[in-house]
Amino acid sequence: MNMPVNIALNVYSLIILFFIYVNGRKHIDHTQIQDKLYLALLWITAFLLVVDLFSRFDGRPGTFYPYVNFWGNLLIYMLSPVLPALWFLYAYYQIFRDMARGKRVWWVLAAICGVNGILSLLSLRYAWFYTIDSGNIYHRGPLFLLPAFLTIGIIVAAFVMLLMNRKRIEPRYYFSLVFFAVPPFICVLLQIFFYGISFMLNSVVISLLIVFFNIQNQNLYIDYLTGTNNRKKLDYYMKARIAASTETKTFSAVLMDIDNFKEINDTYGHDTGDKALNIFINLLYSCLRSHDFIARFGGDEFYLILDSSTKDQLERIIERIQNRLAEFNEKGETPYPLSVSMGYAVYDYHRHLKVEEFQKEVDMLMYQNKHMHKCAIKSE
């Protein structure tokens, strides 16, 4: 691929990345892992697009070309696994919402990137990955496929991880996460088999753009602590469900309040309290369907919006949640038990309640249930 075409493609890609950053910065929370990883993906991609241009300065040995070509190719090889590694971590967080449990994954990816960097430096002496001759012309080395295979391996691993954990991922995010790997994977294969073709970084930009519109831009409606929907999204969603309700097809709402949550915070600290919230959310996800709607209403209160149109269907789900919490408490994995008070109801199409009215009704039912729990404890 000639230099003018490469410059045009990379500059165009950099403009797209700048557009993403400018339009997304008001929604970016620099304290959140998801946003940190996405920003890292943006900046590393932008940096590699510039470096990629430097690696194209072949020929003209008597000019500055050899110096630019040297550093361009070295950095491209050294950093080749970093981008897919960041993507793997981003996908991992979208699935598990807890990077503390992913420390081992982090160290494995860091080790892969470190070994690749060392081998790239050694290749300057032993020409394993590539060599630049006296005429400042780049040539592939006998092991040039190794960095490519590392890149492909990490991309495929992330892809497989997403497929295996499909039920943990919100449906509206699933396609964007799975599709992210497809363009880079195809372009890496093309680059292996057709010398001089290099669209991989440009394809990553397209994938980042899709992720921005379908995932990152939705952060405005995501609760920062639990990764669930927030109250603003709940109001929009419930309003839409009310508008779509008919005599034969309606929905159910469940308001849950974690019992004695203040005691968990006071006894074990707020960090443990935050972990308790996420444990509770993971327990909910394990006994609900992938399209069921979960939102944090405030503090330790959570809303579920379910497709159940009858009281019997709704009560079966309530029983499933209670059984799941009981199973968790029996295992004794935490020094505190997790239980909830719940108010729940099927939306009655004929009453034509507004969002606030229906929420008030469910809220009253929840506090009645909470009062019953307290009375039961006192009687014991």
- Our measurement of the distance from residue 121's CA atom to the centroid of its chain's CA atoms, rounded to an integer in Å, reads 33
What average pLDDT does the segment 51-79 reach?
A: 92
Residue closest to 38 by CA, chosen among 159, 162, 218, 172: 218
What is residue 169's predicted lDDT score, i.e. its pLDDT?
81
Residue 84 has pLDDT above 80, yes or no: yes
The pLDDT-based confidence of 191 (bands split at 50, 70, 90) is confident
Residue 21 pLDDT level (bands cut at 50, 70, 90): confident
On the question of pLDDT at 9 being above 80, the answer is yes
| DSSP string covering 161-186 | HHHHTGGGS-HHHHHHHHHHTHHHHH
Report the pLDDT value the prediction gives residue 245, as an integer from 0 to 100.
Answer: 93
State the Cα–Cα distance between residues 342 and 364, nearest whole angstrom.
10
User: Using CA atoms, how far apart are residues 101 and 97, in angstroms rounded to an integer?
Assistant: 9
Query: What pLDDT band is residue 203 in, cutting at 50, 70 and 90?
Result: confident
CA 321/CA 343 separation, integer angstroms:
13
Mean pLDDT of 354-379: 81
> 273-284, pLDDT tens digit by residue?
999 999 999 999
Question: Which long-range CB contacts under 8 A does 112-120 form with residues at least 24 apart?
Answer: 112/81, 112/85, 112/150, 112/154, 113/81, 113/82, 113/85, 116/77, 116/78, 116/80, 116/81, 116/146, 116/147, 116/150, 117/78, 117/79, 119/143, 119/146, 120/74, 120/77, 120/78, 120/147
- Check whether 173 has a pLDDT greater than 90: no
What are the Cα distances from residue 284, in Å, to 258, 262, 335, 375?
A: 12, 20, 20, 26
Report, as an integer, the average pLDDT of 103-109: 89
pLDDT value of residue 218: 63
* Percentage of the chain lying above the pLDDT 90 cut: 53
Q: Considering just the CA atoms, what is the radius of gyration of the chain in Å?
A: 26
Which two three-digit tokens encode residue 130?
């590539």
User: Per-residue pLDDT averaged across 118-145, rounded?
Assistant: 94
Q: What is the mean pLDDT of residues 219-248?
A: 85
Q: What is the pLDDT of residue 348?
A: 93
The C-alpha angle 74, 78, 84, rounded to 5 degrees, equals: 135
Tokens for 303?
A: 């809303």
Give 226 or 83, the one with higher predicted confidence.
83
User: Across residues 75-91, what is the average pLDDT?
Assistant: 93
Query: What band does 143 get if pLDDT is binned at 50, 70 and 90?
Result: very high
Are the CB atoms for 284 and 167 separated by under 8 Å? Answer: no
Structure tokens at 151: 């890149």
pLDDT of residue 189: 78
pLDDT (0 to 100) of residue 378: 53
Band of residue 33 on the pLDDT scale cut at 50, 70, 90: confident
Backbone angles phi, psi at 150, to 5 degrees: -60, -45
Residue 14 pLDDT more than 90? yes
